Amino acid sequence: MFESLGVINVWTYLVGLFFIIIAPGPNSIYVLRTGASRGVGPGYRAALGVFVGDALLIFCAYLGVASLIRTTPLLFTLVRYLGALYLLYLGVRILHANFVARQEGAAPLVDPGERYFSKALTLSLTNPKAILFYVSFFVQFIDFNYAHPWISYLVLAGMLETMSFIYLSLLIFGGTLVARFFRQKQWLARIGNGLIGLFFMGFAARLAARS
């Protein structure tokens, strides 16, 4: 079904997307803290900031890839290898922080007068590495022989936003319970983070090997 829209290996994409979305990050931590301490309404305002930020970064990633395709295959190959190196770096960094470096557990604080949407949007857009990540991840699941790659990007983005909405909703409604669970189960959090690091390294190898 999705092959007709220029999307390949959709189940692999969904599995990868699942691990990427549940990986701890400033956006999810902020939504979790907002929902737990301020309620459902502020939690969803924060989540909306994440959705908009992701959409903007995905659009920027699409413009970059489309431009590379129109210019030269050599440049596209260079960016592909840079993306693989970044994914490898990300995986190694996660493993190092998880098993070698001391865990610090910093998280954004929630203020009574804080503007939840703008704060979450700022957290999303002030991470320039996210654009490179979206380029290096999305490009693995798009058939560029398809006449309209923007449709493929739209399908992949829709899947991402849907899974993100479900996950952030779970964080909003179960924020306090989830936070308490991971504080009491540090060993489980370490195993999960270790698997995520290995998963990113596997995507790096796959992207570098893709012809």
The pLDDT tens digits of the residues spanning 53-107 come to 888 888 877 787 666 665 677 777 776 787 778 778 877 877 877 777 645 554 4
pTM of the model: 0.66
Identify which of 112, 129, 176 has the alpha carbon closest to the alpha carbon of residue 26. Answer: 129
- Total H helices, total E strands in the chain: 9, 0
Q: 16 falls in which pLDDT band (50, 70, 90)?
A: confident
Which tokens go with 176?
């306090």
Cβ contacts of 139 within 8 Å, gap of 6 or more: 65, 80, 83, 207
* Single-letter code of the amino acid located at 194: G
Please give the pLDDT value at position 110. 46
* 47 vs 27, more confident: 47
Q: How many domains does the chain contain in total? A: 1
Q: How far apart are CA 193 and CA 180, in angstroms?
A: 17
Determine the structural domain holding residue 205 and report its residue range: 2-209
